[in-house]
Structure 1
Amino acid sequence: MRVKVRPFSLEVEGYEADKEGWIGTLLTLANGRIGVRGDLDFAPSSTAGSYLAGFYEDVPIWRRELVVLPRLNGNYLVGAGSQIQHLVRRLDMREGLLRVEGVLQGGVSYSSESLAHLLYRNLYAQRINVVSGSEMSLVIGVDDPLNPFLGSETYYEHLVRARTDFGRDEVRVSYKLRDGRELWLRIIVKIQEGSEPLPFVTNRSSGFIIKGKEINVTKLALLGAAGESIPDARDWEDLRRSHVEAWRSRWDRIGLEVSGDEYMAGGVTFYAYHLLQLIDDSVEELMISTRGLHGHGYRGHIFWDTDLYLASFLSLLYPEAMRRVLEYRCRTLKQAMEYAARTGFMGARFPWEGVDDGYESTPRLIPTDLTQCKCVEILTGEQEIHVTSDIALALEFYYRVTRDEEFMRKCGLKLLVETARFWASRVTYDETKESYSIRGVIGPDEYHVNVDDSYYTNYTAKLNLELAAHHVERVLGDDRYKELLRDLNVSLDEAENWRRIASRIFLGRRKGKVIEEFSGFFDLSDFPRVNSLVRRLSMEELSQAAKSKVVKQADVVLALVLQNIFGGSNRDMLEANYDYYFRLTTNESSLSLPVYTLAALLLRKPEWEYLFRKSLETDLENLYANSDGGFHVAAAGGIWMVVLHGLLGLRINGDELEQEPLCSDALRVKLRVAWRGKRLEVSNCREK
C-alpha cells in the first residue's frame, strides 16, 4: 500500500485491512457538524462510523463520550469476489471530495465520489457506479452502531432503533438514546441505472438492495437530531457544485500557496484541510475534540489543545471560528466556577477533559484487564490545572489579533477575571523562597505527577494574572464596561494584588540559563539515554521515569516558545533549554515535536527540516500508531504554529504584528492572515 501526499491532494493506492483504521482517518470527510470516516466503502471495518459535533451521552468510567453514529459510506457488493485487485483513493482537498476507484475479483469495477456538504451540514452524499459482467447486488444499508468500551472486548450501546420507515426510494431510521433524546437517519437513493430498490430489514440493519450488471446510483444520507430540517435538493450535480464552490471560497479567504519539497508542502495543506473541516459557520460555538470528527480517541473529550494549539491557526486564518471555540468556554464558565468552589478555590477552574456540559470528565481509574480487575490511576483531572491558564492565553491571542471588544464585554473580561481569581487562591506563599508556589500539579510532562512549582504551570499562571490585571486597568474608565465591572465586583486594588502575586511567583531554579522544569527535577537520577526521536515507555520504564530526568513532551521549551509568540524571548535562554531538554525528551506525545520544531526554527538550527518532516508523519505515516482513533488536532495546530510563527516569523508585540521570516527552498508559503478586520498577505520568501 502506498500513501502519497501532494499540495491539496492525498492518494492511497492499494488495500491492507489491518491499516484501514489509519487510512479511514486520513480520508475522513467532515463539515464541522458531521464527520464520516473514510474507511473503504465496500469493505467491512471495525473503525468505520460517523460523528455529530457535540453529540455526547453518559457512559461508565469516562462520564460522557461522543456517540458513534451509523456508518454513512457503507455500500456492500454481493456477487463480487472479496479479493481487491486494484484500488486507488484520492482526496481532493481543494474541493472536499473523496474519489474511490477499485477492481475486484472477477473484473467487477467500483467507483464512488463522496462529500460531506459544506452548506447542508447534516448531509453526506455519494455517487456510486458498479459495472460487472454478470448481475450482482449493491447493498446500501444502515447498520446500528456500537461504541468501543474497553479495548476490543466490550462495546457500549447508546443508540436503540425505535422504528424504521420505508418510502419508494428512501428509508428513515429513528433512534432513541438512553437519556431519551432522539436521532434520525434518512437514506435517499436515486437510481440512474439498475433495478428498483428492494427494501430489507434485519435485527441490526436496514436499507436497500439494488441489482444489475451496471448500477449507477446517488445516495443522500441525512443525519440529525429531532426537529432539524433537511435539504430538499436531490440532484447530485447541484449538490456537488455548491459544495465545491463553498470549499474553494474557504481556501480563497486564506490564500494559501505552497511550494518546495512535495511532502512538506503537501503535509501543510493536509493538516490545514483537516482543521478547516472542523469549522461549522452556522453555529454559535465549536466543541472541537482532541481527535476531531475523525474517530473515537479520548472518547471525544475536549482538552487544552483545542484552545492553545489552535489559537494561532484559527485566530490568524479563521478568527470567527476561534471566537466560537471561546464561546464554548464562555457557556461553561459557570460550571468552571462551580468546579473551583467545589475544590476549595475562588474564581473559575476549567476541567482537564471537557464535554458538552462543561463538567470534569477525566476518569479517576481506567481498567486495563477485565479478568483481573487491574486499573491505572489517572491524576491529570485533579492536578493538570494549567488548562485554565491555557484558555486565558488563547483568549488573549485572539483578542490581540482581532481587538474584538464586543466579545471582551460579553465574556472575555469575565473569563480573565475569574481565572485570575482561581490562580490568586491557588498559590501558596513560601517563606523560605520569599515567593509564591503552586504545589501538587502536573505540567505538560506527565511522567512526573504531584510536583511543586512546574515552570510551565507557574509561568502561564503568572501571565494569566498579569493579563487579567492589564485588561481591568485598561477598561476601568470605559463606560462600555462600567456595568460589567460592577457585576464582576472587581477593583483596581484586586488587579494590583494580581500583579503583586504574579511578580513573586516562583519560576524555578537555574543552572546557567537552563530553567528547572519543576522543583527537584535537577536532583533526579539520570534516565537511560533516549536514542530514538519518538519513544514509547513501557510500564516498567514509566515507573522509573517518575524518578528520573526524562521528559514526555516539550514543557519548559513550550513556555519559552509562547514567550516568543507573545512578543519575543531571550534567544540564549531558548537555546540553552532547547539543547538541555530536547535530548531528555521521548516525544511520546504528538504535541511535542511541533514545539521543538518551532524552537529549532526560531534558533535557525538546521535540524528543523528533519523535525518538521517527522511532525508531518504524525497522521500521514501513523507515527504514533494510534491514528485509527482519529486525527491529531493539536499536532495539526502545532504544525501550523511552525508555519505561522517559524517560517513566516509572525509574533505579536504589543499592538504590532511583527514578522521575521525564514526563507527556505524546502518550503515556501504565502498566506492572507487576518489582522484587526483586514487581510494581510505574508510570505516567507520574497517574490523572484
Structure 2
Amino acid sequence: MTFDNLTGQLFWPTPLKDWRIEEHGFQPEAVIKNGNKFLTANGYMGYRGTLEENGAAELAAVNLSGVYDQRGTAWREPVNAPNPFHVVTRVAGQVLDPLQHPISDHEQVLDMAAAVHHRRTTFSTGNTLVTITANRFLDMAQPQFMFLEYIVQVKQATVISVTAGIDKQIWDINGPHLVDCQSWREDSVFGYGGQTGESQLAVTTLSRILVNQGECNDIDRPDQVGQTIAVTVTPERPLCLLIAAAVTTGRETDAPIAALADTLASYTPETIGQEYNRHCQKLAALWHTSDIQIEGPQQDQVALRYNILALMMIAPLAGSQLSIPARGLSGQTYKGAVFWDTELFMTPFFLATQPAVVRDLVAYRLKGLIGAKKKAVEYGYTGAFYAWESQEDGYDATSDYNVTDVFTNRPMRTYFKDKQIHISGDVALAIWQAFQWLQDPAILSQGGAEVIVECARFYVSYATARLDRSEVAFTDVIGPDEYHERVSNNAFTNRVALATIEAALAAIAYLRENNAEYLAKIAQQWQLTDLLPLFTETAARIRLQTPNAAGVISQFDGYLALADDSIDTVRSRLLKPKEYWGGAYGVASQTQVIKQADVVMMLAVFPNDFSSDIVRANWQYYEPRTEHGSSLSYSMYGLIAAQLGMTAPAYDFFQKTAAIDLTGESKQWAGTIYIGGTHPAASGGTWRLAVEGFAGLHVENDQLVATPHLPSQWQKMAFRTYYQGHWYRVNVTAAGAVVSIADDEKIGVDD
C-alpha cells in the first residue's frame, strides 16, 4: 500500500555517543558475532543483529521465549519464528549485499536509549552510489509486534527492485521445528507459519508492507512470501518501506491471528510513529530505574549501559512464569535452557531495578517443582533436584552426552545433570533472597517456602553420614568448576547445602510466627515433626572446607594435592584447539587448573563467612589457576577484588566481563559443540561488580549501606535501587556514598 507521506525517519537512532554501540566498516567474518552484539529483544522474542539481506546461512533468527521443540533424537531446543524482515535490494539484477557486492561505507549501530537497530550501507554500483538505511525495533509496549523502516537512496536516478517479506528458510541447529507450513494473504496482510512437530504448537509470522512509491506485486515462492517493488528512485525521492510485523504462538490464547492481522491492517505511518513513542516511553521507564551513571571513561559508561540493556530486553513478560535462558534470546545454543546463572547472576539486578520481573523468575521455579521432585525420585532421593538445563515447566533437557570427543568424534559421557546438586540450593536461596529483599510474604506462602523446604530435604537425602566421624559429607558431586567431575565436599556445594537447610528452618519459623494457618495446612505434607530435627542435626554436621595454614580453602577434598601446573602448561598439552579441558581425561582434570570461580564465588555469595585476609588469600591463590573458561568467572573475581579494595585488578575484570558480547571473544566451542550467543550472566555479573563491588552496596541490619571502592578511572556513580518497599537513590564518590529515599520512589514498582 502506497503512502506519500512515508519519509523513513520514524525511528532514527540517538546521536548521543554514550548511548550507542557502533561498528564501522564491514568484516564478513564478523557477521555471526554481530548477530549477538547487536541483538534486540523485548522479552517475548529476540531478533539477532543481522542485516536485512541475511538469512539462515548468516544465523538470522527470531528466537521465541518459552517455545521448545525436539526433532527426532536431536537436542530439544527453542523455536525460531519465520523472519518477517528479509529484504533484498537489486540494481540491474545484482543483489546489494556486503557479502557479494562492493561497498564504500558501512555502519551498524545499537541505539541503547530506544533499543533500535540501525544499519547504513553504501554500495558502489555502476556509475552511482546506492545507500540502504534500515532501522528496526521490537516493541516493548506490544511485545508481539516489531517494526522496520527501510530506505533506499541514490546519487542519480536508478531503477531499483526490492523484494521484502517473510523468509521461509528458518535457521535451526537441530530442526526444522515447524511442519505443515503454509503461507497466505488476506487484504494487506500476509503470513507464514506452521506448527511444532513435538507438541503441535502453532507458530505464525504476519507482515504488512507500506511504501511511498512504486507498484507492489505479491510473491509466494519456496523461499519467501511477500512483495516486490520496482521503481525508478531519484536523489530527490528515496524509496521508503515501512514493515509492521507480528508473531504469535499457540501459547497466546488472547491474541488470535485475526486480531493481529486487523491491527496490522490498521497501521499508517502516523500510528506506527505513535507506537514507537509508546515503545520508547516503556523503555524510558525501565532506564529510569535501571541506569547507572558514571563519571569516567565513555567506554565504561557505554559498556555498563549495554549490559543493562541486554538484561532489560530479555526479562520475561509479566505473568508469563518464564525465566531467562543462559544465552538469552540470541538463538538455540545451550538448548535455550535456564541454568543456575539466572539465580546467582541476574536475579540481583532485577531485585534492585525491576522487582516485578523477579516474581516471574520465582514463579518459573515454583512451576518447576513438580519436575524437580520427580527428578529426585528418579535418582533415588527425596525432595527437589532441580534441572541443570531447564526448559519450560522445569523440564530437564540435559543429555548424558554434552561434549563430543574431537579425536574420535564420539559423544563423551558427562555428569552435569547427575552431579551438580548445588543447583537446587541456588534456586532455593534466590527465592529466600527475593523474600527478604522484596519483603513480600506471598513469595513464601504461594509456593516459595515449599521449594526451599523440598530443596533442603533433597540435601538431607543426598548427604552421606560418616558413622565413624561427626560429619555429613556430599560425595560424588560437580561444583561450578566443571573441569573437575565427581569430587567430594566441593566447598561451594556444601556451603550452599548448609545455607539452604538454614533457609528452610528460617522460612518455617517465619510462617509459624506470621502465617500459622498456612503452616498448619502443609505441616503434615512436610512431616515437620520428623523433618525439623533432621534439618537441625544435618546442618550442625555438614562438613565445610576450612582454610589451611596459608589461609587457602580447598575447592574439594584432595584438590590441593593435584598437580600444580600453570594454565599455559596445561594449554600446551592440547592436541586440538577445540578439545574439552574437563571430563575424566581432560587436560585440566588432574591439575589445579579450574574452569571458573568456585571457592571465590562461594566467598562472593557468603561474604560474611571469612575475614578479609582469608578472602584475599584465596583470591590470590585461585585467580592464577583459573582459566576463565566460563563467562561467569570474570565478574566474581572482579567483585571480590573490588570489595577487598584491589581496584586495579577489579577494573581489569570489569572491562573483561562487560566486553564479552561487545568483542565476541568468548568461547564459541565446547569440543565440537557450538556454544556461541549472548551472555546475560556476564551482563548480570557486570552490574553486580559495579553496584556491589565498586559502589559497595550491601545490607546491614536490614539497611542499605554503600562502602565504595571506585577504580581510579571513575570519579562518581549514581543509580537507583529498590529495597523492601522503597526506591533509593545512591550517589557514590571516592570519598563516600549517600543512600537516600528517591523523590520518585513509586516509579516502576509494579510495572
Which stretch has the larger CA shift, 508-517 or 395-404?
508-517
Q: 1:173 maps to what in 2?
A: 192
Deviations 1:639-665 (A, max 9, x none): 111012111212234523332122345
Deviation of 1:308 (Å): 1.5
Q: 2:206 maps to what in 1?
A: 186
Deviation of 1:113 (Å): 1.5
Which among 165, 190, 212 is matched to residue 141 of structure 1?
165
Which among 530, 534, 539 is matched to residue 579 of structure 2?
539
The 1:560/1:653 distance shift into structure 2, 3 A limit, reads: same
Deviations 1:493-515 (A, max 9, x none): 62343132122111125422211
Deviation of 1:382 (Å): 0.8
CA distance in 2, matches of 1:372, 1:615: 34
Q: 2:591 maps to what in 1?
A: 548
On the 8 A contact 2:567/2:626 being kept in 1, the answer is no
Deviation of 1:617 (Å): 2.1
Q: How does 1:205-354 map to 2 (within 5 A)?
A: 205-212=224-231, 213=233, 214-226=238-250, 227=253, 228-229=255-256, 230=260, 231-232=263-264, 234=267, 235-254=271-290, 256-354=292-390
Which stretch has the larger CA shift, 243-252 or 76-85?
76-85
CA distance in 2, matches of 1:69, 1:281: 18
On the 8 A contact 1:62/1:363 being kept in 2, the answer is no
CA distance in 2, matches of 1:534, 1:472: 53
Q: 1:678 maps to what in 2?
A: 726
Q: 1:58 maps to what in 2?
A: 70
Deviation of 1:145 (Å): 3.9
Deviation of 1:625 (Å): 4.6
Give 5+ residue unaligned stretches, structure 1.
150-154
Are 2:149 and 1:127 equivalent residues in the alignment?
yes
Deviation of 1:63 (Å): 4.6
Letter in 1 for 2:655: R
Q: How does 1:398-437 map to 2 (within 5 A)?
A: 398-437=434-473
Letter in 2 for 1:515: I
Q: How does 1:11-26 map to 2 (within 5 A)?
A: 11-26=22-37
SS of match in other structure, 1:498: helix
On the 8 A contact 2:80/2:170 being kept in 1, the answer is yes
TM-score by structure 1 length?
0.93
Are 2:565 and 1:523 equivalent residues in the alignment?
no
SS of match in other structure, 1:105: strand
Q: How does 1:260-659 map to 2 (within 5 A)?
A: 260-366=296-402, 368=404, 374-478=410-514, 479-486=516-523, 488-491=525-528, 494-508=531-545, 510-512=547-549, 513-530=551-568, 539=579, 542=582, 543-564=586-607, 569-605=610-646, 606-626=648-668, 629-659=676-706
Deviation of 1:262 (Å): 1.5
Deviation of 1:679 (Å): 0.2
Which among 65, 71, 82 is matched to residue 83 of structure 2?
71
Deviations 1:159-186 (A, max 9, x none): 1353211234321113122132211111
On the 8 A contact 1:554/1:596 being kept in 2, the answer is yes
Letter in 2 for 1:459: R
Deviation of 1:62 (Å): 5.7
Which among 37, 40, 52 is matched to residue 29 of structure 1?
40
On the 8 A contact 2:456/2:504 being kept in 1, the answer is yes
Letter in 2 for 1:185: T
Which stretch has the larger CA shift, 631-640 or 283-292?
283-292
On the 8 A contact 2:37/2:664 being kept in 1, the answer is no
CA distance in 2, matches of 1:577, 1:660: 22
Deviation of 1:530 (Å): 4.3
CA distance in 2, matches of 1:29, 1:572: 43
On the 8 A contact 1:509/1:519 being kept in 2, the answer is no
Deviation of 1:436 (Å): 0.5
Which stretch has the larger CA shift, 79-88 or 604-613?
79-88
Q: 1:41 maps to what in 2?
A: 52
Which stretch has the larger CA shift, 608-617 or 54-63?
54-63
The 1:540/1:679 distance shift into structure 2, 3 A limit, reads: closer
The 1:580/1:535 distance shift into structure 2, 3 A limit, reads: farther
On the 8 A contact 2:81/2:247 being kept in 1, the answer is no
Are 2:128 and 1:117 equivalent residues in the alignment?
no
Deviations 1:290-334 (A, max 9, x none): 011112221211110011111210111111111211100001111
Deviations 1:431-459 (A, max 9, x none): 45421000111101111111111111001
Letter in 1 for 2:25: G
CA distance in 2, matches of 1:94, 1:381: 39
SS of match in other structure, 2:383: coil
CA distance in 1, matches of 2:447, 2:687: 27
SS of match in other structure, 1:515: coil
Deviations 1:75-120 (A, max 9, x none): 1112255222211122111112122222112211111221100011
Which stretch has the larger CA shift, 101-110 or 574-583?
101-110
The 1:533/1:187 distance shift into structure 2, 3 A limit, reads: farther
SS of match in other structure, 1:635: helix
The 1:311/1:12 distance shift into structure 2, 3 A limit, reads: same
Deviations 1:391-425 (A, max 9, x none): 11211221221011012100111111110100011
The 1:359/1:5 distance shift into structure 2, 3 A limit, reads: farther
SS of match in other structure, 1:162: strand
On the 8 A contact 2:135/2:150 being kept in 1, the answer is yes
CA distance in 1, matches of 2:466, 2:528: 26
On the 8 A contact 2:19/2:112 being kept in 1, the answer is yes
Letter in 1 for 2:598: D
Are 2:709 and 1:662 equivalent residues in the alignment?
yes
- The alignment covers a number of residue pairs equal to 677
CA distance in 2, matches of 1:197, 1:371: 54
Give 5+ residue unaligned stretches, structure 2.
1-14, 669-673, 739-751
The 1:160/1:78 distance shift into structure 2, 3 A limit, reads: farther
CA distance in 2, matches of 1:403, 1:378: 40
Q: 1:152 maps to what in 2?
A: none
Deviation of 1:684 (Å): 2.4
Letter in 1 for 2:666: Y
Deviations 1:436-487 (A, max 9, x none): 0001111011111111111110010110011111111222133353344335
CA distance in 2, matches of 1:628, 1:39: 18
SS of match in other structure, 1:22: helix
Deviations 1:329-351 (A, max 9, x none): 00111111111111111111101
On the 8 A contact 1:5/1:267 being kept in 2, the answer is no
CA distance in 2, matches of 1:550, 1:616: 24
The 1:297/1:5 distance shift into structure 2, 3 A limit, reads: farther
Which among 8, 12, 16 is matched to residue 19 of structure 2?
8
On the 8 A contact 2:291/2:308 being kept in 1, the answer is no
RMSD: 2.6
The 1:625/1:71 distance shift into structure 2, 3 A limit, reads: farther
Letter in 1 for 2:566: P
SS of match in other structure, 1:411: helix
Deviation of 1:34 (Å): 1.2
Q: 1:93 maps to what in 2?
A: 112
CA distance in 1, matches of 2:471, 2:324: 37
TM-score by structure 2 length?
0.85
Q: 2:747 maps to what in 1?
A: none
Letter in 2 for 1:552: K
